[in-house]
């Protein structure tokens, strides 16, 4: 998003605070370099040391990391700790409770959609609940290797279920509980799940969502498609039992809480609360091979059929635990909060597995940032004295719009490190996050990674890396193993394509059921390398600036422009809260830029502003980047994980009314508004 050579780049460095360096795991740059060197020169020694923190029923028999990244030499594979046997759940729970005596430590502060609803769950309690759930799943017929679909909101039962799967060797496939019945059905069918775990209903802000009904529709669709694999559905009575007793944050008149009419089929449905009470709190873990599958997670469906990214046990354990420890500099007295949903990879790696592997105390948040008020995030930070906070640029930009008042009401002095993930962060948002939220004392770790990478692959380390606002990473200061990555030049654009030459333990192993798609998507373009699909630029200090997906490039008169680049110059304007740029066919230029801008509250969209914005882009990037169209967008179509759906915007720009599957969109209503505001002529 930020381009060296343009005004966006900031050379000012923000150095790690001394206070943080004192006790940090990686206290300075030299220490980082030592680790870095070791990870390159002696990867086996390096990862063996990481592995020594965990319990292995059987030790590995060969080299710690074995792989082939070169399609011309045979199948692509990565193996970590081959020959070893272990269990994820044992390592993140039993080991903490029994070996480390952390049974009384809080694993999660669960904070509901309403501030009225909260509970603390210790490691000991978590282990008990997970064992009960493991026994329940076994009773329902789940065996090692079976796939279990999980369609749950951000409630403790989601963590219980995923860990229960790993305890008995089942493979979880979590589907974000905002996805439609169609998307859920597609995912269940692709991985042939035998059990579905869901809840009756959940409030998201003031909106009540009847999850069970959606789940039933999904199962019905699976049956229609004649490949129904789900035999039983385990249903948590979350709404009925946890939230119906009253919720002062939901503004309903009269004050009666709607009862979700939970459809029930006794032949298929099993009530969580009933069965969990009847089973034992003890359950022996299943010892798995290091390379047995751990989970499947489908990547965002904004383009084409979703891919079932498969991760395996040992490598994912080593990688998420190490990155969590170093990138958030985890300390025993921390209260850590990642605002993502566990339905996405960020939640898998940095709410469940990474933090638990480190015996961390985390906040598990069911709600949304603006309910019951726009200061909710800051209120929660004050309430739990959160020390490490990890969120997405889109949330920061949203909350920035409300100004300082909602932030200043709360005490944020507990914060020590801030993190971002999911998209490039524009410098304006970075500065606001750093100054207003972090009060200039907290480093911002901008972590670049993907569902496929399993964990952070490019990131500063908070006590060791000087930061540049908006730069995800620095070439020299990148995370330990990342030295193996190289950047190949895309012939025409001058942009660098981000690729990795060697694996790390947490990289995906295949696309579930489709090795061919795995190899062609990630390894065929540059034989010998894993291709992330993102572009970036390198500045004179060796810092890398992620330029967004290469597939978001627009070719205007033979010049390849990054949409992210144009978006950054639009959002630099004081009136613009958010911008998205797509291409529209142009008789002369081939393609031209069509820009959607969301204005800040109280700013008016008019001709003068349009002219100003065009001038600004021209000045910042060059005449070639002058937009042809600038459209007012009160809202942008986004996936539920907050990614802008450019496909939909492209179709609006071209006035194509048949938008196809919109099931991954958070709020489909914005589409009609955008069609109404379309620009016909430049």
**Number of residues near ligand WTA (by CB under 6 A):** 22
Q: Strand pairing partners for 282?
A: none
Q: Residue 623 and residue 646: Cα distance in Å, rounded?
A: 23
In the bound state with ligand WTA, the residue whose beta carbon lies nearer, of 376 and 549, is 549
Altogether, the residues listed in the chain come to a count of: 682
Q: Does 549 bind ligand WTA (CB under 6 A)?
A: yes
Q: Does 423 bind ligand WTA (CB under 6 A)?
A: yes
Q: Does 450 bind ligand WTA (CB under 6 A)?
A: yes
Which CA distances in Å does 170 have to 134, 177, 569, 623? 10, 20, 48, 56
Task: Please state the closest distance from residue 61 (CB atom) to ligand WTA, in A.
Answer: 33
The residues in 212-271 that bind ligand WTA, with binding defined as CB under 6 A, are none
> Torsion angle of alpha carbons 304, 639, 460, 44, nearest 10°?
-40
Report the 3 state secondary structure along 67-126: EECCHHHCCCEEEECCCCEECHHHHHHHHHHHHCCCCCCEEEEEECCCCCCEEEEEHHHH
Task: Please state the closest distance from residue 282 (CB atom) to ligand WTA, in A.
Answer: 36
Q: Residue 380 and residue 375: Cα distance in Å, rounded?
A: 9
In the bound state with ligand WTA, the residue whose beta carbon lies nearer, of 315 and 347, is 347
Q: Does 471 bind ligand WTA (CB under 6 A)?
A: no
Task: Please state the closest distance from residue 70 (CB atom) to ligand WTA, in A.
Answer: 22
Q: Residue 313 and residue 56: Cα distance in Å, rounded?
A: 12
Nearest-5° angle of CA 652, CA 656, CA 657? 95
Q: Residue 145 and residue 288: Cα distance in Å, rounded?
A: 10
Provide the angle, in degrees to the nearest 10, between the axes of the packed helices 607-621 and 563-571. Answer: 120
Applying CB under 6 A, which part among 67-75, 118-126, 418-426, 486-494 lies near ligand WTA? 418-426
Among 422, 454, 469, 627, binds ligand WTA (CB under 6 A): 422
**8 A C-beta contact, residue 229 and residue 189:** yes
Positive or negative, the Cα torsion across 158, 161, 166, 169?
A: negative
Provide the angle, in degrees to the nearest 10, between the axes of the packed helices 29-41 and 43-51. Answer: 110
Q: Does 472 bind ligand WTA (CB under 6 A)?
A: yes
Binding pattern for the stretch 122-161 against ligand WTA, x by CB under 6 A and - elsewhere: ----------------------------------------
The two structure tokens encoding residue 442: 């907290």
Applying CB under 6 A, which part among 58-66, 242-250, 446-454, 665-673 lies near ligand WTA? 446-454
**8 A C-beta contact, residue 97 and residue 106:** no
Which residue has 């071209």 as its token pair?
A: 654
In the bound state with ligand WTA, the residue whose beta carbon lies nearer, of 329 and 534, is 534
In the bound state with ligand WTA, the residue whose beta carbon lies nearer, of 164 and 421, is 421
Binding pattern for the stretch 336-355 against ligand WTA, x by CB under 6 A and - elsewhere: --------xxx---------
The residues in 286-345 that bind ligand WTA, with binding defined as CB under 6 A, are 299-300, 344-345
The residues in 519-548 that bind ligand WTA, with binding defined as CB under 6 A, are 532-534, 546
Among 157, 334, 428, 446, binds ligand WTA (CB under 6 A): 446
Task: Please state the closest distance from residue 670 (CB atom) to ligand WTA, in A.
Answer: 21
Q: Strand pairing partners for 148?
A: 172, 195
In the bound state with ligand WTA, the residue whose beta carbon lies nearer, of 219 and 437, is 437
Which residue has 């780049």 as its token pair?
A: 9
Task: Please state the closest distance from residue 592 (CB atom) to ligand WTA, in A.
Answer: 24
Binding pattern for the stretch 618-657 against ligand WTA, x by CB under 6 A and - elsewhere: -----------------------x----------------
Task: Please state the closest distance from residue 646 (CB atom) to ligand WTA, in A.
Answer: 12
In the bound state with ligand WTA, the residue whose beta carbon lies nearer, of 114 and 498, is 498
In the bound state with ligand WTA, the residue whose beta carbon lies nearer, of 128 and 178, is 178
**8 A C-beta contact, residue 339 and residue 390:** yes
- Contacting residues for 470 by C-beta, under 8 A, at least 6 apart: 1, 2, 8, 9, 10, 424, 425, 426, 427, 430, 446, 545
In the bound state with ligand WTA, the residue whose beta carbon lies nearer, of 327 and 360, is 327
Q: What residue is closest to ligand WTA based on CB?
A: 451
In the bound state with ligand WTA, the residue whose beta carbon lies nearer, of 158 and 546, is 546
Mark 88-111 as b/e (b = at least 16 C-beta within 10 Å): bbbbbbbbbbeeeebbebbbbbbb
Among 421, 497, 670, 674, binds ligand WTA (CB under 6 A): 421
Applying CB under 6 A, which part among 49-57, 369-377, 421-429, 502-510 lies near ligand WTA? 421-429
Task: Please state the closest distance from residue 547 (CB atom) to ligand WTA, in A.
Answer: 9
Task: Please state the closest distance from residue 349 (CB atom) to ligand WTA, in A.
Answer: 8
Q: Does 448 bind ligand WTA (CB under 6 A)?
A: yes
The gap from C-alpha 67 to its chain's centroid, in whole angstroms, comes to 26
- Contacting residues for 207 by C-beta, under 8 A, at least 6 apart: none
Contact residues for ligand WTA, defined by CB under 6 A: 299-300, 344-346, 421-424, 446-451, 472, 532-534, 546, 549, 641
């Amino acid at each position: 998003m930020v381009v060296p050579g343009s005004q966006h780049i900031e050379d000012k460095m923000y150095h790690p605070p001394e206070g943080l360096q004192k006790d940090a795991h990686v206290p300075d740059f030299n220490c980082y370099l030592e680790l870095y060197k070791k990870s390159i020169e002696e990867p086996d020694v390096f990862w063996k040391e990481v592995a020594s923190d965990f319990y292995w029923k059987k030790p590995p028999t060969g080299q710690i990391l074995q792989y082939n990244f070169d399609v011309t030499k045979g199948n692509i594979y990565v193996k970590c700790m081959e020959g070893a046997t272990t269990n994820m759940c044992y390592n993140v729970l039993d080991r903490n409770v029994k070996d480390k005596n952390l049974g009384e430590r809080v694993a999660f502060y669960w904070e509901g959609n309403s501030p009225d609803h909260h509970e603390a769950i210790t490691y000991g309690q978590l282990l008990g609940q997970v064992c009960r759930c493991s026994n329940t799943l076994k009773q329902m017929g789940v065996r090692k290797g079976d796939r279990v679909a999980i369609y749950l909101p951000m409630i403790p039962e989601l963590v219980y279920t995923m860990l229960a799967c790993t305890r008995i060797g089942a493979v979880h496939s979590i589907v974000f509980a905002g996805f439609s019945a169609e998307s859920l059905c597609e995912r269940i069918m692709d991985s042939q799940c035998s059990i579905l775990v869901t809840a009756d209903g959940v409030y998201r802000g003031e909106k009540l969502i009847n999850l069970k009904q959606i789940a039933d529709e999904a199962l019905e669709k699976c049956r229609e498609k004649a490949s129904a694999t789900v035999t039983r559905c385990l249903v948590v009575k979350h709404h009925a039992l946890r939230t119906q007793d009253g919720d002062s944050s939901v503004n309903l008149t009269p004050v009666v809480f709607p009862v979700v009419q939970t459809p029930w089929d006794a032949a298929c449905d099993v009530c969580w609360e009933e069965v969990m009470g009847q089973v034992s709190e003890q359950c022996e873990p299943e010892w798995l091979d290091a390379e047995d599958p751990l989970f499947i997670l489908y990547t965002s469906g904004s383009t084409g059929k979703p891919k079932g990214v498969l991760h395996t046990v040992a490598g994912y354990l080593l990688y998420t635990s190490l990155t969590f420890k170093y990138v958030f500099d985890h300390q025993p007295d921390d209260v850590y909060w990642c605002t993502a949903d566990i339905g996405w990879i960020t939640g898998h790696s940095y709410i469940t597995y990474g933090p638990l592997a480190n015996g961390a105390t985390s906040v598990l948040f069911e709600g949304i940032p603006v309910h019951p008020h726009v200061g909710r995030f800051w209120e929660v930070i004050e309430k739990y004295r959160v020390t490490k906070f990890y969120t997405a640029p889109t949330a920061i930009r949203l909350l920035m719009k409300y100004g300082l008042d909602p932030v200043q009401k709360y005490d944020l002095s507990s914060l020590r490190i801030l993190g971002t993930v999911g998209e490039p962060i524009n410098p304006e948002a970075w500065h606001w996050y750093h100054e207003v939220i972090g009060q200039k004392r907290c480093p911002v770790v901008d972590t670049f990674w993907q569902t496929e990478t399993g964990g952070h692959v490019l990131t500063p380390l908070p006590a060791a890396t000087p930061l540049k606002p908006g730069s995800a990473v620095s070439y020299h200061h990148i995370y330990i193993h990342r030295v193996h990555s190289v950047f190949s030049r895309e012939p025409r654009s001058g942009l660098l394509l981000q690729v990795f030459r060697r694996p790390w333990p947490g990289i995906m192993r295949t696309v579930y059921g489709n090795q061919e798609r795995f190899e062609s998507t990630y390894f065929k373009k540059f034989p010998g390398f894993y291709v992330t699909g993102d572009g970036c630029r390198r500045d004179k200090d060796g810092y890398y600036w992620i330029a967004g997906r290469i597939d978001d490039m627009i070719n205007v008169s033979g010049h390849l422009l990054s949409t992210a680049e144009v978006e950054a110059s639009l959002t630099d304007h004081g009136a613009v809260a958010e911008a998205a740029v797509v291409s529209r066919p142009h008789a002369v230029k081939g393609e031209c830029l069509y820009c959607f801008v969301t204005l800040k509250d109280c700013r008016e969209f008019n001709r003068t502003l349009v002219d100003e914005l065009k001038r600004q882009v021209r000045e910042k990037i060059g005449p070639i980047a002058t937009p042809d169209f600038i459209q007012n967008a009160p809202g942008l179509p986004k996936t539920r994980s907050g990614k802008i759906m450019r496909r939909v915007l492209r179709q609006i720009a071209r006035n194509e009314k048949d938008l196809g599957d919109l099931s991954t969109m958070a709020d489909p209503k914005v589409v009609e508004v955008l069609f109404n505001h379309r620009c016909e002529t430049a």
